[in-house]
């Protein structure tokens, strides 16, 4: 897939074996680590305010494997609603996209770009193949019926973790890759809700892959906070399965992060996405 996207070089790194998951490719959290670093560099260079990758929409195109060198090209863009983003294009060979993420800017970008003497941003519509596709640009509000969903087995607690000091960046902001690591951990539980358990996948030589995801940090947790992630489905059709993650304080219930994932099954031999078998179904009571 070729998408001609101009941009400034903002990150270069080589994929390490320990960054790869059970599918033997770069795990989603480490894509977002790279995007966060690219976004921080771009903001710092041009005087843009706000933390990097606290609200983002990401699409995946090609796998990255151990020893691949990834280069990120960053370009400011704006959508039809007037929202501005840094579009990070993580390339396989300096041109072919592996993954593209829209990193939401936090203030009026036209003003910021003028102050920074920055070139004018480009319309996102010029790069239609790089923008949102299977997931809408807007974010769902937090679920208020978590207890009911858990009681009826239409949701699951898919990750619990203890926030440490190094989960935050130099400014005390929750690092994007730490939030996304919860999403990565929660993928198995989300698929198990429709019947694709670990044993079911292994017996069929299938893996779970993310095609698209979006997330929003509501707040940064303090070190010592115990987080729990609630995962629940909302669509299953054709070759894709869509589900939500909600990360909250396991004690107080305060919501820290929200996200949606568009996922699929991949044949681990052919490395191709396959249709979802009819035996996989949404839990009773889930409608879309």
Reply yes or no on whether the pLDDT at 162 is more than 60. Answer: yes
Reply yes or no on whether the pLDDT at 107 is more than 70. Answer: no
Reply yes or no on whether the pLDDT at 192 is more than 80. Answer: yes
Is the full-model pTM beyond 0.85?
yes
- β-pairing, 240-249 vs 55-60, is unpaired
pLDDT at 48: 87
Contact indicator for 85, 100 with CB cutoff of 8 Å: no
Q: Tens digits of per-residue pLDDT, 208-253?
A: 999 999 999 999 999 999 999 999 999 999 999 999 999 999 999 9
Report the mean per-residue pLDDT for the chain: 91
CA distance 61 to 3: 11
Reply yes or no on whether the pLDDT at 24 is more than 60. Answer: yes
Contact indicator for 87, 81 with CB cutoff of 8 Å: no
């Amino acid at each position: 897939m070729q998408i001609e996207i101009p941009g400034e070089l903002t990150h270069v790194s080589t994929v390490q074996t320990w960054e790869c998951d059970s599918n033997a490719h770069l795990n989603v959290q480490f894509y977002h680590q790279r995007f966060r670093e690219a976004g921080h560099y771009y903001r710092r260079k041009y005087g843009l305010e706000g933390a990097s990758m606290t609200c983002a929409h990401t699409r995946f195109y090609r796998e990255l494997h151990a020893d691949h060198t990834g280069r990120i090209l960053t370009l400011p863009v704006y959508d039809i609603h007037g929202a501005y983003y840094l579009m990070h294009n993580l390339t396989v060979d300096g041109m072919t996209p592996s993954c593209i993420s829209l990193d939401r800017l936090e203030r009026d970008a036209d003003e910021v770009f003028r102050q920074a003497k920055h070139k004018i941003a480009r319309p996102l519509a010029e790069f239609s193949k790089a923008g949102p596709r299977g997931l809408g640009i807007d974010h769902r509000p937090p679920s208020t019926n978590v207890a009911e969903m858990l009681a009826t087995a239409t949701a699951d607690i898919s990750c619990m973790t203890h926030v440490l000091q190094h989960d935050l960046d130099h400014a005390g902001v929750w690092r994007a890759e730490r939030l996304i690591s919860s999403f990565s951990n929660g993928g198995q539980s989300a698929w198990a809700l429709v019947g694709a358990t670990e044993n079911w996948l292994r017996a069929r030589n299938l893996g779970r892959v993310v095609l698209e995801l979006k997330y929003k940090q509501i707040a940064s947790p303090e070190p010592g906070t115990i987080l729990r992630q609630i995962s629940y489905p909302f669509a299953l059709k054709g070759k894709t399965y869509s589900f939500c993650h909600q990360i909250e304080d396991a004690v107080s219930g305060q919501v820290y992060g929200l996200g949606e994932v568009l996922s699929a099954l991949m044949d681990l031999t052919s490395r191709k996405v396959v249709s979802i078998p009819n035996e996989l179904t949404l839990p009773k009571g889930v409608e879309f």
